[in-house]
Structure 1
Amino acid sequence: MLKGPGCISEQGSQNMMAGGRILLLTLGLLCLLSSAYAARKDDVRVLIDVSGSMKHNDPHKLRAPALRLLVGLLPEGSTSGVWTFGQYVNMPVKLGRVDRRWKKLARAESKRIHSRGLHTNIEEVLKRASFGWTKPDKNTRRSLILLTDGMVDISRDAKKNAASRRRILKNILPRLKKAGVRLHTIALSAGADKALLKQLSAVTGGDYIQVDNARSLERAFLKLFEKAAPVDSLAIEGNRFKLDTSVHDMTVLIFRKGAKPVVLLNPQGKAFDYQKHPRNFSWNQEQSYELITVKKPMAGEWIIKGSKDPDNRVMIVTNLKLETSDLPPSILAGDKVLVEAELLNKGKRITRESFLSLVNFQVEVNGKTRYPMLDTGNGADSKKGDGRYSIDLTGKLGGGDQLLIIRAKGATFERQFRYTLDNFLSIVDVRLTEDKSAKHFYLSIIPHIEIIDPESLHIKIKLEGGESPVAHQEPGGLWVAEIDKKNEGKFVTIIVDAKRHTGGKVQAKIKKKLVLEKVIKENHAASPATEKKNDNHVKEKSAHDKQNSQKEDTKTEEHGKTNWFLVGWIILVVNIVLAIIGILIFKLWKKKKMSQEAEDDKDVAL
């Protein structure tokens, strides 16, 4: 049957429909791929304690410059907000997209941080700041940073405070974990509820930091920023760093020692500082650090004229990014530690062999040992030539805090990522002390709640000879067993069963001898033989000194009487010289003080 030129056959119609479906499917796949390669957005919410106890623990309100540091480091396009809490909860900086306007508001509001709150309502601030977070979001990295110096305190009634603490652990904490929120905590004083803060961080995969004084807050915020919103950074070697042409923006953080300002030299040798810099610079100066952000910086070698500090950073925004695998903040010795890294160009993994053959991937541990990362398909690496480099560090890390620097270094560029984790050698610590009467031992068992659930803890103690002392839980999570001193010298076995925060079960078996560790003093007791030898030596020395004394007396007599007139003149001359030196020192000190006061006035005016 013939059809007109404007007609379409049934077969052609079906072909067109099939083609349309293929086109739509292709477009859908492209969208999925682009979203898969898109970088995760960061949502960082900051919770700051403004209770009255901060007058003592942070008298100079150093929470403010610490917050300004975090604000300056947050990448544009991320989401953030600031909550303060005492008896009531306020949100001085509204939750929103981080841009220049948001940062300006946050810096201004940081100056209003106070210490007038009557209580410490941790429960309410956690509820308010995490509102709406009920299920995980694969496209968003969610983080809470909680800074406090106290305990849960909502009332004068201890029962109400205890009930609030239980609600945090039973209701809020499981919801945060389910929603994929990492809760990072900072304890600013010895009076903070460390057990609670450690548990909040451990369960959610966050970091816990103990800060001894407010001066350390800025560095604590820096460490948590690198966990909450990790960005690419460059190595600083001898106060020099190199920028490649793919860098769009850079942020330079320099910690200062003393009043000397920071100077930054670009590749052409031009010097810039806080008072004199181009429009594409944003320069913030605080008492202890300077934070410089540069839009479209010049490629080449830059020089920092300022203090060398291990916490100085150069962070960059670039299309050529180093992506690394997530690592837990705390591990137990023997846990598998697999580190993986890849380079992304505009969100897509680079697999081109001609490019990657010129790039060296490695992990540096504690600034000492370096391990190469490979893409050979052998050992820790799952697939050869896929552009994802791997290294298995299981069993290669020491105990305690471990600093890992993951690097990708090419002929014209370098990227690095810093990560800290705490490697625990056991799930508990065991200590032995004695009571004041010296009739009993106290066997203390301290669980590491960073890696185990304290409520799942089950402890058995077996004493040599068959006795089984009972351990009782003390406030703060400590377990203590009392053992009669007559068992001194015997061995005791402690068996601890617990559940990991990751879900698995773990057991520790520790054998300890009931002997107190004696402190070795400088003047420790010597053996009888040594005492006898020393005694003879003292006698010999005494006789020798007596003989010398007699000789000296004889010599003195032979020289005749002292010339006291000459001695008097010498003393007078020495006193005159000392008086002149004292006057000169006082004048120099007074001049320096006046100069310093003038410089302080100048800083205030700025």
Structure 2
Amino acid sequence: MAFIARLPLLLLFCLGISARAEDVPPPTPSADVRILIDVSGSMKKTDPLNLRAPALRLLISLLPADAQASLWLFAEEPKLLLPLGKTDVAWKRKALNSSGRITSNGLFTHIEAALNQASEDWKNATALAGKRHLILLTDGKVDISKEAEKSTESRQRILSDVIPRLQQLGVQVHTVALSGDADHELLKKLSQDSGGSHEAIEAAEQLERMFAKVVSKATPHDTVPLQGNKFTIDPSIQEFSLLVFLGPNAEPTRLVLPNKMEASEIMLLPNIHWRHEAGYDLITVDHPDPGAWELIAKTDPDNQVMVVTDLKLVVKDLPNYLTTGETINISAHFTDQEGTITKDEFLKLIDLRLRHNGEEQALSPDAAKPGYFSTALKDLLPGKHTLSISADGKTFKREINHSLEVVEQLVASKVSVDVATMPQQLIVALTANKDLLDVKNTRIMAKLSNAYGQSTDVAVPGGDGVWTLKLPLPSPQELLTINFSVIAKTLQGKDIKPSVSPLVLNSQTLAQLLAPAPEKAPPPPEPVPAPEKKPEPVKPPPAEPKQAEETHEAAPSGEQSAPESHKTSSWVFTGIAVIVINLIVIAGGWFGYRAYVKRSTAKRQALLNELAPIDTK
């Protein structure tokens, strides 16, 4: 009876163990974004209408729900406007309300303190490295005191200490300079050396467009093509957001649904949400009807249709900066809830194309990676470029747009490892462009920084246009950042500071450097005819052994006292019950998992079938 009384508790105990074992940690955010807004007194002149507020509201609205973000204002010191949190509906509501606290009353512009405070909790490189972003808006220069020397020292610390630390943490800095008086050299250095982006505008009226571009770099989103103000929504799309930029005295925006009904800010349907600002409309539609939609508004190249869907076009690792002579290798694939789609019946319908400067080239299936398509783009001229990768699946369309800047490569770098020396050496060879630089008046310094904040300046030896830096190869556990500073003259005698791509050495980059070059596979050997085998005689099966006779005698009864026997029997049954219950829980989990896989597979197949074109033959 005692065992029966304990059975419910045992069942709860076992179920508790099973539940804890199946606990899943929260998903990693798709991005970690820190937004820094300048509120110094100079903004009264550069942004008299406080257009930073509606621009910030647009940026907040465009953040995906699976990211995390925080808002900061800075002048003489940074102030936290909204703590770090998941960018869900509740966080966005608070963020939108807090945008009204943007002012222009600060005394100074302490960019160094703002960068340090906003990134303080980023202690080391983690799974979020590469997904960390700082968005910095300012209209001025580093200005922390009435004493000019202190501001100069702060600016130098950004170059020597802050940038290497952000590089080691995998942070991309996206800078927006509002006015020609901003320190463009510093802001571009911040973005270029961290792999971020830099935008310069002269009027606050352009802020909303710039913020839309920046947020698309920090948190890329799926889009469908908007052609002639028309776009197509397929059955896989759960939600779309239409961003429409408005010019002066623009007519009210209207949206025509597939059933020819019209919606506007004053005529809304239950599933349509409309945010109107003086410079833009942001229209979000939940569970939209599949079919052809039309926008009634002035055509604008920055208008876009962002979608939430399980069927995603993924294009990874597109750079924000490129040097002349570099090639962009573009790789694209489709994913759904189950991962990369590799079904031939789906992939053979896809037409993937890259558009650049009015020209198109196809992405071809990658034989080495099932489900992937690839192409290469090279010989880009210096300046800003926009790439468009579009996919046409006959019944659905996807598009990804990406802007980048190509900078003149005045000093090229090449990294290698000398494995013949002991200890092994890291070799960085720097080569100047003799057609543009006076190599006799070119000097190169390297700043070596480790993960502990220690740094060393080293003059790179060399001459006649070639400089070589040799260092002991760091171990995979170490983290080393190398930033180069070049002082040179052009052939016309003009002083310039050419940029050289920084080098961040960690376990991943070291593994790439040490990886052996792929060898060509040897040709298959000539087939050798197999010798004829004579049939072997069939052996009779071995005789089965006789079953051993039982010789065990029954244990004499009464060897243990009655209470002890009852106690042992109770715990034996208890142990058996625990095992049985766990087996039931495991079996239930297994069959539940099988059911989940079956449902997911059926859902994927149903989606692909729904998107497949109808065979008219």
List per-residue Cα deviations over 1:2-61 (Å, max 9, x = no partner). Answer: xxxxxxxxxxxxxxxxxxxxxx9xx99xx9xx99xx886111111000000011111111
Q: CA deviation at 1:340?
A: 0.6
Q: CA deviation at 1:134?
A: 2.3
Q: Which amino acid aligns with 1:354?
A: E
**1:20 matched to which residue of 2?**
none
Higher helix share: 1
List per-residue Cα deviations over 1:415-442 (Å, max 9, x = no partner). Answer: 11111111234438xxxxxxxxxxxxxx
List per-residue Cα deviations over 1:523-556 (Å, max 9, x = no partner). Answer: xxxxxxxxxxxxxxxxxxxxxxxxxxxxxxxxxx
Structure 2 residue aligned with 1:404, among 369, 383, 387?
387
Q: CA deviation at 1:404?
A: 0.5
Q: In the alignment, is the contact (CA less than 8 A) between 2:36 and 2:73 conserved in 1? A: yes
**2:359 matched to which residue of 1?**
369
Is residue 2:70 matched to residue 1:81?
Answer: yes
Q: CA deviation at 1:259?
A: 3.3
Is residue 2:152 matched to residue 1:150?
Answer: no
Q: For residues 57 and 498 of structure 1, what CA distance do their matches in structure 2 show?
A: 30
Structure-2 change in CA distance of 1:47 and 1:161 (3 Å): same
Q: Secondary structure at the match of 1:152?
A: coil
Is residue 2:327 matched to residue 1:344?
Answer: no
Q: What 5-or-longer segments of structure 2 have no aligned partner? A: 1-17, 412-435, 439-444, 448-456, 466-484, 506-617
Q: In the alignment, is the contact (CA less than 8 A) between 2:488 and 2:498 conserved in 1? A: no
**1:204 matched to which residue of 2?**
194
Q: In the alignment, is the contact (CA less than 8 A) between 1:284 and 1:292 conserved in 2? A: yes
**2:209 matched to which residue of 1?**
219
Structure-2 change in CA distance of 1:409 and 1:265 (3 Å): same
Q: For residues 94 and 173 of structure 1, what CA distance do their matches in structure 2 show?
A: 24
Is residue 2:249 matched to residue 1:261?
Answer: no
Q: Which one is further off, 127-136 or 232-241?
A: 127-136
Q: Which amino acid aligns with 1:390?
A: S
Matches within 5 A, 1:100-119: 100-119=89-108
Q: For residues 158 and 404 of structure 1, what CA distance do their matches in structure 2 show?
A: 43
Q: CA deviation at 1:389?
A: 0.7
Is residue 2:163 matched to residue 1:173?
Answer: yes
Q: What 5-or-longer segments of structure 1 have no aligned partner? A: 1-23, 378-382, 429-442, 446-451, 463-475, 484-490, 505-606
Q: Which amino acid aligns with 2:372?
A: R
**1:54 matched to which residue of 2?**
43
Q: CA deviation at 1:444?
A: 10
Q: For residues 493 and 106 of structure 1, what CA distance do their matches in structure 2 show?
A: 48
Q: In the alignment, is the contact (CA less than 8 A) between 1:87 and 1:119 conserved in 2? A: yes
Q: Secondary structure at the match of 2:94?
A: helix
Q: In the alignment, is the contact (CA less than 8 A) between 2:172 and 2:196 conserved in 1? A: yes
Matches within 5 A, 1:230-249: 230-249=220-239
Q: CA deviation at 1:480?
A: 6.3
Q: CA deviation at 1:184?
A: 0.4
Q: CA deviation at 1:298?
A: 1.3
Q: CA deviation at 1:280?
A: 2.2
List per-residue Cα deviations over 1:456-494 (Å, max 9, x = no partner). Answer: 8999999xxxxxxxxxxxxx999668x9xxxxxxx8899
Q: In the alignment, is the contact (CA less than 8 A) between 2:29 and 2:66 conserved in 1? A: no
Tell me the percent identity. Answer: 37
**1:70 matched to which residue of 2?**
59
Q: In the alignment, is the contact (CA less than 8 A) between 1:453 and 1:498 conserved in 2? A: no
**2:372 matched to which residue of 1?**
388
Structure 1 residue aligned with 2:401, among 407, 414, 418?
418
Q: CA deviation at 1:286?
A: 0.7
Q: In the alignment, is the contact (CA less than 8 A) between 1:47 and 1:146 conserved in 2? A: yes
Q: CA deviation at 1:393?
A: 0.9
Is residue 2:294 matched to residue 1:303?
Answer: yes
Structure-2 change in CA distance of 1:376 and 1:46 (3 Å): closer
Q: Which amino acid aligns with 1:388?
A: Y
Q: In the alignment, is the contact (CA less than 8 A) between 1:459 and 1:494 conserved in 2? A: no
Q: For residues 325 and 90 of structure 1, what CA distance do their matches in structure 2 show?
A: 34
Q: Which amino acid aligns with 2:340?
A: R
Structure-2 change in CA distance of 1:497 and 1:64 (3 Å): closer
Q: For residues 53 and 263 of structure 1, what CA distance do their matches in structure 2 show?
A: 38
Structure-2 change in CA distance of 1:347 and 1:209 (3 Å): farther
List per-residue Cα deviations over 1:543-599 (Å, max 9, x = no partner). Answer: xxxxxxxxxxxxxxxxxxxxxxxxxxxxxxxxxxxxxxxxxxxxxxxxxxxxxxxxx
TM-score (structure 2 length as normaliser): 0.64
Structure 1 residue aligned with 2:87, among 95, 98, 102?
98
Matches within 5 A, 1:438-453: none
Structure 2 residue aligned with 1:283, among 250, 261, 274?
274
Q: For residues 486 and 500 of structure 2, what CA distance do their matches in structure 1 show?
A: 15
Matches within 5 A, 1:117-156: 117-139=106-128, 141-156=131-146
Q: In the alignment, is the contact (CA less than 8 A) between 1:461 and 1:492 conserved in 2? A: no
Q: For residues 457 and 208 of structure 1, what CA distance do their matches in structure 2 show?
A: 29
**2:303 matched to which residue of 1?**
312
Q: For residues 252 and 275 of structure 1, what CA distance do their matches in structure 2 show?
A: 17
Q: CA deviation at 1:499?
A: 3.8
Q: Secondary structure at the match of 1:184?
A: strand
Q: For residues 426 and 339 of structure 1, what CA distance do their matches in structure 2 show?
A: 21
Q: For residues 401 and 328 of structure 2, what CA distance do their matches in structure 1 show?
A: 15
Q: CA deviation at 1:170?
A: 2.2
Is residue 2:242 matched to residue 1:252?
Answer: yes
Q: Identify which of structures 1 and 2 has the higher relative contact order when contacts are C-alpha pairs closer than 8 Å and 6+ apart.
A: 2
Q: Secondary structure at the match of 2:158?
A: helix
Q: CA deviation at 1:63?
A: 0.8
List per-residue Cα deviations over 1:497-526 (Å, max 9, x = no partner). Answer: 87422479xxxxxxxxxxxxxxxxxxxxxx
Give the aligned CA root-mean-square deviation in angstroms: 3.4
Q: CA deviation at 1:244?
A: 0.6
Q: For residues 316 and 62 of structure 1, what CA distance do their matches in structure 2 show?
A: 27
TM-score (structure 1 length as normaliser): 0.65
Q: In the alignment, is the contact (CA less than 8 A) between 2:489 and 2:496 conserved in 1? A: no
Q: In the alignment, is the contact (CA less than 8 A) between 1:93 and 1:109 conserved in 2? A: yes
Q: Secondary structure at the match of 1:402?
A: strand
Q: CA deviation at 1:399?
A: 3.1
Q: CA deviation at 1:94?
A: 2.2
**1:293 matched to which residue of 2?**
284
**2:3 matched to which residue of 1?**
none
Q: In the alignment, is the contact (CA less than 8 A) between 2:356 and 2:386 conserved in 1? A: yes
Q: CA deviation at 1:96?
A: 0.8
Q: For residues 191 and 110 of structure 1, what CA distance do their matches in structure 2 show?
A: 25
Q: For residues 180 and 446 of structure 2, what CA distance do their matches in structure 1 show?
A: 22
Structure-2 change in CA distance of 1:336 and 1:223 (3 Å): same
List per-residue Cα deviations over 1:55-97 (Å, max 9, x = no partner). Answer: 1111111111111111111111211111000112112222211
Structure-2 change in CA distance of 1:289 and 1:459 (3 Å): farther
**2:599 matched to which residue of 1?**
none
- Number of residue pairs aligned between Structure 1 and Structure 2: 427
Q: CA deviation at 1:136?
A: 2.2
Q: CA deviation at 1:402?
A: 1.1
Structure 2 residue aligned with 1:357, among 348, 357, 363?
348
